[in-house]
């Protein structure tokens, strides 16, 4: 049986790996490596338990550090795993430092690299994620693109071989777990009422590491007319403390809670009046849940959500979020913008064909 090493490490990757791993393990031997980029129980362990993700074969325990130190330590440790396991391929997800470390380790050892969520671009190289994606895409052997835009982005960079439009594995996860979430929770559990609250998440470096922007974001949230439920990412909490402005969390309409599980998140997304976020995953989930989304960024990789009229980019310094949330109404809805919920099985089929062709060469 062919052996595939999968590398994950950050919250969104635990969610992405859940549906793919389920399919992959029907045909291949998967060795799961967790870099430990995220390590708090509510950023990591809770997802393994709730989503039934197999226990990692390797926990690298890298944790937090500067980009160079974190990525470097991952690279060293992943290389050791790959030398020991000698897999037929390495599978990475998205655009985190764990993705880049996995990509570099595999490509230097000439092990075929498969990238899930390939081709996304913000065209902003100040984002660490943009650098991680571009580099990973350029050393990948198979590129699984979630959208047509992603295919076009890759084409523009000269990448056309083994590029497959499979849809978004996050849609697979959302479809699979939404029903489970509905059976498990009630709005009462969270002290909110149907369509009477805004769900918010903030964590992106471009927002948290710029004090003016960070302040403007929390001032904007405080001015919203609804209750704002905010599961707080540890990065944001730490940055507010470092800047000595954690009192912004005490605004009367803000309900700040620790990070929540995926099922809780999906449940709250499905019942929110609106979503305010800078998360890549949450922008799409707002669309899946048919809830208007306000993205506190200057650009997005998920341009379709904006084009179709369900996502509005908002500059928290120059624009009035409360006014925009109050006035803005989404328009048409395209059910299959992110595929049919079968991206994971398509990915496994393409991997199968790749190995078949390789055998024939
Ligand atoms: C990372 C990804 C980002 C992704 C996000 C998902 C990179 C460069 N960034 O950003 O693309 O959107 O994950 O959530 O890979 N921390 C804790 N406990 C944890 C994890 C983090 O306290 O379990 C704190 C630490 O202070 C750490 C900071 O959060 O320094 C940032 O963590 P890090 O993994 O470096 O980046 P994220 O901002 O989480
Ligand atoms: N998420 C979660 N609990 C939270 C916040 C987010 O389960 O408290 C989920 C969210 O539903 C989505 C994923 O985490 O599936 C997105 O991860 P994140 O926002 O950390 O990263 P990004 O997608 O921006 O890389």
The CATH number given to 176-327 is: 3.40.50.2000
Of 189, 250, 182, 241, nearest in space to 211 by CA: 241
How far are the Cα atoms of 21, 33, 224, 345, 355 from residue 27, in angstroms, in the given order? Answer: 10, 18, 50, 11, 12
361 has a pLDDT exceeding 80: no
Look at the block and give the residue holding tokens 């997005």: 300
The mean per-residue pLDDT over the stretch 80-103 comes to 98
Atom nearest to 205 CA in ligand 1: 38
- Around Cβ 133, how many Cβ atoms within 10 Å? 27
Q: How far is the CA of 96 from the centre of ligand 1 (A)?
A: 9
What is the residue with the minimal CA distance to atom 28 of ligand 1? 235
How far are the Cα atoms of 66, 197, 198, 358 from residue 275, in angstroms, in the given order? Answer: 30, 9, 6, 45
Q: Judge if the beta carbon of residue 265 lies within 6 A of ligand 2.
A: yes
Q: List, for residues 311-359, the tens digit of each pLDDT value.
A: 999 999 999 999 999 998 888 898 899 999 999 999 999 999 999 988 7
Residue range 3-168+339-360 forms a domain whose CATH class is alpha beta
Q: List, for residues 250-293, the tens digit of each pLDDT value.
A: 999 999 999 999 999 999 999 999 999 999 999 999 999 999 99
Kind and range of the H or E run holding 295: strand 293-295
Q: How far is the CA of 177 from the centre of ligand 2 (A)?
A: 14
Q: Which residues line ligand 1 (CB under 6 A)?
A: 10-12, 37-40, 43, 64, 95-97, 128-129, 203, 234-235, 238
The angle, 0 to 180 degrees and rounded to 10, between the axes of the packed helices 169-184 and 280-288 is 60
Q: How far is the CA of 162 from the centre of ligand 1 (A)?
A: 31
Two tokens, residue 28: 């291949």
pLDDT for res 226:
96
Look at the block and give the residue holding tokens 């060293």: 76
Look at the block and give the residue holding tokens 């190995």: 355
Q: List, for residues 228-239, the tens digit of each pLDDT value.
A: 999 999 999 999
What is the pTM (predicted TM-score) of this model?
0.98
Q: How far is the CA of 282 from the centre of ligand 2 (A)?
A: 6
What residues does each domain of the chain span?
A: 3-168+339-360, 176-327
Two tokens, residue 252: 């009367």
- Contact at 8 Å (CB) between 197 and 272? yes
Atom nearest to 42 CA in ligand 1: 23
Asked whether the domain spanning 176-327 has the same topology as the one spanning 3-168+339-360, the reply is: yes
Ligand nearest to the CA of 130: 1
- Which residues are catalytic, by number? 203
């Amino acid at each position: 049986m062919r052996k595939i090493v999968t590398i994950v490490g950050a919250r969104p990757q635990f969610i992405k790996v859940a549906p793919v791993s389920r399919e992959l393990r029907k045909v291949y031997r998967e060795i799961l490596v967790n870099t430990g980029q995220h390590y708090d129980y509510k950023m990591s362990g809770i997802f393994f338990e709730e989503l039934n993700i197999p226990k990692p074969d390797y926990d690298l325990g890298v944790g937090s550090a500067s980009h160079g130190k974190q990525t470097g330590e991952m690279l060293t440790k992943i290389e050791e795993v790959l030398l020991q396991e000698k897999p037929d391929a390495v599978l990475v997800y998205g655009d985190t430092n764990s993705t880049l470390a996995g990509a570099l380790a595999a490509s230097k050892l000439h092990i075929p690299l498969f990238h899930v969520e390939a081709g996304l671009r913000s065209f902003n190289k100040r984002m660490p994620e943009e650098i991680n994606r571009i580099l990973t895409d350029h050393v990948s052997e198979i590129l699984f693109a979630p959208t047509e835009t992603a295919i076009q982005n890759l084409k523009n960079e000269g990448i056309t071989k083994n590029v497959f439009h499979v849809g978004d594995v996050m849609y697979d996860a959302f479809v699979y777990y939404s029903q489970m979430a509905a059976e498990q929770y009630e709005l009462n559990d969270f002290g909110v009422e149907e369509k009477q609250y805004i769900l918010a998440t903030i964590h992106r470096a471009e927002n948290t590491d710029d004090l003016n922007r960070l302040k403007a974001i929390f001032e904007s949230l405080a001015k919203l007319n609804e209750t704002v439920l905010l599961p707080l990412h540890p990065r944001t909490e730490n940055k507010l403390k470092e800047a000595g402005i954690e009192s912004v969390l005490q605004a009367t309409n803000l309900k700040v809670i620790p990070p929540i599980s995926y099922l809780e998140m999906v449940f709250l997304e499905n019942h929110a009046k609106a979503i305010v976020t800078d998360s890549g995953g949450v922008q799409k989930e707002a669309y899946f849940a048919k809830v208007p989304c306000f993205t506190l960024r200057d650009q997005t990789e998920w341009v379709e959500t904006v084009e179709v009229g369900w996502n509005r980019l908002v500059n928290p310094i120059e624009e009035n979020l409360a006014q925009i949330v109050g006035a803005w109404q989404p328009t048409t809805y395209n059910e299959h913008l992110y595929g049919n919920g079968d991206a994971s099985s398509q990915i496994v089929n393409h991997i199968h064909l790749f190995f078949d062709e390789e055998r024939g060469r």
